[in-house]
Amino acid sequence: MANERMINSVSVGVVYVDSPGTFAISNAEKTHILAEIQDGLDTVATNEPRSNLSWAYSTLSVTLPNFTPWEGANWPGLTESFYRRMDAALWSDTNQKIYFFNGSEYIRVDPANGWRADPGYPKPIAGNWPGFPASFASSVDAALYSDANQKIYFFKGSEYIRVDPNNGWNVDPGYPKPIAGNWPGFPADFAAGVDAALWSYKNTRIYFFKGSEYIRVDPNNGWNVDPGYPKPITGNWPGFPADFAQGVDAALWAVPNQKIYFFKSNRFYNQYIRVDANNGWNVDPGYPKPVGLGWEAEDKWRDPALAQLGFPAGGDGITQLTQFFQGGVGAQFGYIVFFTKMPTAWFAYAGGLRVVMRRISGSFTSWTSIDSVLGHETGHIFGAPDEYAASNCACTSMFGKFFTAVNGNCDPCAANPVICLMKGNNLTNLCQWTPAHIGWEAFLDNIDDGLYADTNDKLYIFDGKYYLRYSPGFALDPGYPKPIAGNWPGFPASFADGIDAGLWAEQNQKIYFFKGSDYIRVDPNNGWNVDPGYPKPIAGNWPGFPASFAAGVEAALDSRPNQKLYFFKGSQYIRVDPKNGWNVDPGYPKPIAGNWPGFPADFAAGVDAALWAEWNQRIYFFKGTRYLRVNPAANWSVEGGYPRDININWRIPFPTA
Amino acid sequence: MDGNQKLLVLEGGEGPQGRRLGARLDRSKVFTAMAAVGARVRHDSGGRLMVIEVPEGAEKALAERLPGARLLPVDADVKGEIADLDPTESLFLDALKLRTSDSFREAKRRRKYGETPEEQLLLTASDVREEY
């Protein structure tokens, strides 16, 4: 039985993965990271002291001496900023090279050399593209090589410049010029600026893209926009992924392979598709692809690190390393946090049994929110979903590993979303639903009560709004815990929020639940419905109940060996005889102490729950996080070896103290 | 940090190898002793060092149950007093020292959640990757 609740001892395996030089992590950084982790996780634990949560740390450092960043990139030799996004792309027929522009820099790529970036790049636009106005040197929006006049055009906002590669790559005189009035037929929004442009060698047309639309220009017809444009990308460029159809960042026609490339960055990395104009203008199979590396960027350093530690690659290695750490500290659950400066798609993320946190540039010591970011990621490890709008969360989606609950604090749909751990990284506040997601909603410091139901040969344990169901052999039924509400028809809201006590009465084959001074009766032979007329007050309906018991009971038990019912309140109990008008037997209440042999003092001071287990003919008493077992056939004594922890012994993870 | 937190230094007695990751100290004995006096672990180095929470007045009882162990203030400088610290233990102590420093505590006291660039960046995209 795996623990998936944020309780008890949790192993946190911290693995620093570095490499000499830029990717090195100093001892000061490692110390800072661990201090931040300890502080953050400590604060998370304070949100629920009943979780008995403690953190067991193991740290390992792995240095990869020959790590090559971005090895395996689809466009080799670019730098990270270009692997994140680019502003413009250009094919230059003049020198048979490709140019990528990003901000004030550009990189030149040589298709004849494995489509690799030429050495010495990136370079600044300023100083390398003669005559560029300052505004164009700081960035461009789009670039175009026109085979009609062997000129290069750069677009920036509502203006453009023209470069003559056959004249020292100089900007032609008289530029920049406004698009409006110089590109006939341009719609107003295209005249205000374009996102991407390309020359098509297939039909000798120029294509301009703006948002989700495009226009086509015919240089052989006065450079006019062809009739019928603009058109939507969707439906006119077959096979375009949805995000590309919403707009592209850059485009070019590559002469060496006669393909069109479109570039579009997502939130994590730059990606591209390849279109074959000679195959119906369809997107080639296998696209989009990352320009550099996508999420597999993690694999490139993580798997060598796992190998160096003696573990296999991928998920198997993560699992085995987690178990190694967890076993070393004797924790009930574990996960790994990788810290690195090496490339990743995103700077902090979680999934499975691992968290990845990356410093893109600079020192980890200047990252002063490692504590809260890791706290948030740890929430994911235990099943809590994101609650902020950009995560595309939905209020009706179900999350959680032990309990499941809706994502009720999801920002776009929640009535009054709050800032908390999963929406704003606030370590000291959990929203209403996170406790359920991470296993804190119930079954923490005690259980409310339990009962064995003869009707279906099942055993039930209740705590808070939830209940567990067991089958013969004390096997926890799949899908539990479940909420009381919706699963016990007719329960009043106060009982669905949690019961105080419950028992099965053999006399009438009914189940009784007690809450405060009221009780309800459930008929398992009538769809497990609450009988009409309930709830009723205990007082007046349970003859002979002392006033203190009529005000509420803490545990109830049906004892099959003597066919009596027992009710517990504080250090006392009463016995009811259903065969004698359900009256309390004479002489009660009695103290638990002295009448239940072998009860430890804390159990004699009061019990939380009591139940009969038909399968082994034993009575179980629960107090706090422990339970004991009584054998009625052996003088009603507590059996040896008890009390024991509920944890694990009742097939559920449960706080141990 | 809470005033009733203590640094618990356990006697290893097994040499450096015995304290390394994966080795098994008789930790269940330690946890049993702590449970008996109502103490609980907050941070565990996985070796001889733990930050624990001890109820008022229970320090003596715990010390009696763990002969040879030392209960020290969490900011105690004990690095030089513990023989054969392994890298994990050493880092644990360094981090604890940093954590308990005035500057660190003051920075945490003054911080407002969600204000760092990293926290703001985190809220711009989903950060869940469930491929494993």
**pLDDT score of B24:** 45
A389-415 mean pLDDT? 96
Element at A505 (helix H, strand E):
strand A501-505
DSSP A58: E
How many C-alpha atoms does A588 have within 13 Å on its Cβ side?
A: 25
What are the chain B neighbours of A319 within 8 Å (beta carbons)?
132
For chain A, the average pLDDT equals: 97
Amino acid at residue number B112:
K
pLDDT digits (tens, 9 = 90+) for A94-153: 999 999 999 999 999 999 999 999 999 999 999 999 999 999 999 999 999 999 999 999
Taking one residue from A and the other from B, the number of pairs with CB-CB distance under 8 angstroms is 165
Per the CB < 8 Å rule, is A352 touching B116?
Answer: no
Chain A residues with beta carbon closer than 8 angstroms to that of B26: none
CB nearest B95 (choices: A31, A330, A657):
A31
Q: Which of A11, A34, A326, A393 to mutate to test the interface with B (most CBs of B within 10 A)?
A: A34
Tell me whether residues B127 and A34 touch, CB distance under 8 A: no
- What chain A residue is nearest to B96 in terms of C-alpha separation? A35
Residues 6+ apart with CB under 8 A from A316: none
Interface probe with A: pick from B6, B24, B113, most Cβ of A within 10 Å: B113
* Res. A79: pLDDT tops 60: yes
Q: What is the DSSP letter of A525?
A: G
Alpha carbon of A640: minimum distance to chain B alpha carbons (Å): 19
SS (H, E, C) A429-461: CCCCCHHHHCCCCCCCCCCCEEEEECCCCEEEE
| Shortest Cα distance, chain A CAs vs residue B129, angstroms | 5
- In chain B, residues with a C-beta closer than 8 Å to the C-beta of A34 are 91-92, 94-95
Model pLDDT for residues A625-638, shown as the tens digit of each residue: 999 999 999 999 99
Inform me whether the pLDDT recorded for B1 exceeds 60: no
CA-based nearest distance B68→chain A, Å: 21
Nearest to B111 by CA among A371, A613, A17: A371
Q: CA of A365: how far to CAs of A345, A359, A361, in Å?
A: 21, 10, 11
What's the rounded Cα separation, in Å, for the pair A194 and A650?
65
Which residue pairs from A219-224 have beta carbons closer than 8 angstroms and sit at least 24 positions apart in sequence? A219/A146, A219/A148, A219/A149, A220/A148, A222/A184, A223/A183, A223/A184, A224/A184, A224/A185
The percent helix, strand, coil of chain A (3-state, each to 5) is: 20, 35, 50
For A156-191, what is each residue's pLDDT tens digit? 999 999 999 999 999 999 999 999 999 999 999 999
User: Which region among A410-414, A445-449, B80-84 has the lowest average model confidence (pLDDT)?
Assistant: B80-84
Q: What is the pLDDT of residue A38?
A: 95
How distant, in Å, are the alpha carbons of A376, A593, A600, A628 from that of A603? Answer: 39, 9, 5, 9
Phi/psi of residue A97, nearest 5 degrees: -120, 160
> Using an 8 Å Cβ cutoff, are A510 and A520 in contact?
no
Q: Do A35 and B98 lie within an 8 Å CB cutoff?
A: yes
Q: Per the CB < 8 Å rule, is A9 touching B113? A: no
Surface-to-core class of residue A528, CB atoms within 10 Å of its CB (0-12 exposed, 13-18 middle, 19+ buried): middle
Is the whole model's pTM more than 0.80, yes or no? Answer: yes
Report yes or no: A309 and A16 within 8 Å, Cβ to Cβ.
Answer: no
Cβ of A324 and B22 within 8 Å?
Answer: yes
Distance CA B109, CA A73 (A): 43
Which residues in chain B touch residue A656, judged by CB atoms under 8 angstroms apart? Answer: 35
Q: Which of B46, B113, B125 sits opposite A426 (nearest CB)?
A: B113
Query: Which amino acid is it at B27?
Result: R
Separation of alpha carbons B44 and A127, rounded Å: 58
Strand-strand pairing, A159-164 and A151-156: antiparallel
SS3 A357: strand
Model ipTM? Answer: 0.89
Cis peptide before A632 (omega within 30 of 0): no
The C-alpha R_g of chain B, in whole angstroms, comes to 18
Q: Which residue of A has its CA nearest to B116?
A: A369
Chain B residue with minimal CA distance to A33?
B95
Q: Pull the structure tokens for residue A367.
A: 């990252």
Beta-carbon-side half-sphere exposure of residue A547 (alpha carbons within 13 Å): 0
